Amino acid sequence: MDHISNAQRAKILVHALPYIQEYTGKIVVIKYGGNAMINEKLKDSVIRDIVLLSLIGVKVVLVHGGGPEITELLNKIGKKSEFVNGLRVTDEETIDVVQMVLAGKVNKTLVNLIETRGGSAMGLSGVDGQMIEAVAKDEKLGFVGEITNVNVQPILDVIEKGYIPVISTLACDKKGNIYNINADTAAAKIAGSLGAESLISLTDISGVMRDMNDPNSLIDTIKCSEMPQLLADGVISGGMIPKTKCCTDAIEWGVNRVFIIDGTIPHAILIEMLTNEGIGTMFTKG
């Protein structure tokens, strides 16, 4: 940054102003996971973006997963991870590990990082204040939850006091069972329940491509009505099907705009939100 003159710096800030005005006072949910969360340098860039947004008056809500860390700890205790259709089979021993990793290690590490970078954060899990209620999704999967209700009050209380809520995607039921929830689904439900201005999903890919092998074929905007055709044409396939479904669900549930962006690009969040470039795929109502 040192080679940028002060005049250029000022110009950059002025260009960002209309975008800042658009987002100030609005809720933006950021879903964070995957490789952007493992690489320390990228993690630092994501956290700095979040702190900056928070300081310019954006009400940021950070929702995180922690799949790789869960797998790592399960390996350490000699437990093999089993997946059915991309969902982790979660028995009693596994849900204990999931709870320790998500609500403990990962959550507090992110809270701590935000605070050391000059932000104020408060760690929550879906169990706190019965924020996320769920039932078992499928007996074969064990303690994997299907969300039945999101109570946004704890999140709003934390925002109102000036903190960035950092939410780990666990859920509970009335009987006291704890469930593991897919982080994409949880982020979509939370963003919808909050009526968020936007949901930004940080992934390891640059968005939806017309041709997976051609980086120039990125589709920058998808209307929900275009989804059936994209699925029929096979443009969206494999692991992208559930990811994009979460995006369109979030819009149906009340989010204004949803972005899938490549979290491996430094400051991807700021580029997407505060410039006219946009670097991922945006989903809109249409």
Look up residue 152 and give its two tokens.
Answer: 């946004």
Q: Measuring CA to CA, which residue among 103, 108, 143 is closest to residue 127?
A: 103
Give the 3-state secondary structure of residue 273.
Answer: helix
10: in domain: no
15: in domain: no
154: in domain: yes
Look up residue 85 and give its two tokens.
Answer: 């259709």
DSSP conformation class of 251: H
Q: Measuring CA to CA, which residue among 225, 169, 165, 223 is closest to residue 194?
A: 165
Kindly indicate the confidence band of residue 215, based on its pLDDT and cuts at 50, 70 and 90: confident
173: in domain: yes
Q: Measuring CA to CA, which residue among 173, 203, 175 is closest to residue 187?
A: 203
Q: Measuring CA to CA, which residue among 81, 71, 36 is closest to residue 260?
A: 36
18: in domain: no
74: in domain: yes
Kindly indicate the confidence band of residue 1, based on its pLDDT and cuts at 50, 70 and 90: low
**Average pLDDT over the chain, rounded to whole?**
93
Look up residue 23 and give its two tokens.
Answer: 């987002």
Range with the lowest mean pLDDT among 29-43, 50-64, 118-132? 29-43
β-strand partners of 201: 31, 260
Provide DSSP, 65-94: --HHHHHHHHHHTT----EETTEE-B-HHH
Q: Find which of 90-94, 214-218, 236-240, 273-277 is predicted with most confidence, using mean pLDDT.
A: 90-94
d(CA 244, CA 224): 10
177: domain CATH number? 3.40.1160.10
d(CA 234, CA 241): 10
Q: What is the pLDDT of residue 2?
A: 62
20: in domain: no
d(CA 168, CA 180): 10
114: in domain: yes
* pLDDT at residue 96 tops 90: yes
d(CA 228, CA 206): 21
Range with the lowest mean pLDDT among 96-105, 181-190, 276-285? 276-285
Are the CB atoms for 45 and 266 separated by under 8 Å? yes
**CB within 8 Å of 86: residues ≥ 6 apart:** 239, 242
Look up residue 146 and give its two tokens.
Answer: 């299907």
CA-angle at 50, arms to 88 and 209, nearest 5°? 60
Kindly indicate the confidence band of residue 3, based on its pLDDT and cuts at 50, 70 and 90: confident
Residue 263 identity: G
Axis crossing angle, helix 92-99 with helix 67-76, rounded to the nearest 10: 120
Range(s) of the domain holding residue 203: 25-284
The model's pLDDT over 114-171, given as tens digits with 9 standing for 90+, comes to 999 999 999 999 999 999 999 999 999 999 999 999 999 999 999 999 999 999 999 9
Look up residue 224 and give its two tokens.
Answer: 């929900």
d(CA 244, CA 241): 5
Domains of the chain: total: 1
In the block, tokens 């430094």 appear at: 266
Full 3-state SS string of 165-179: EEEECEEECCCCCEE
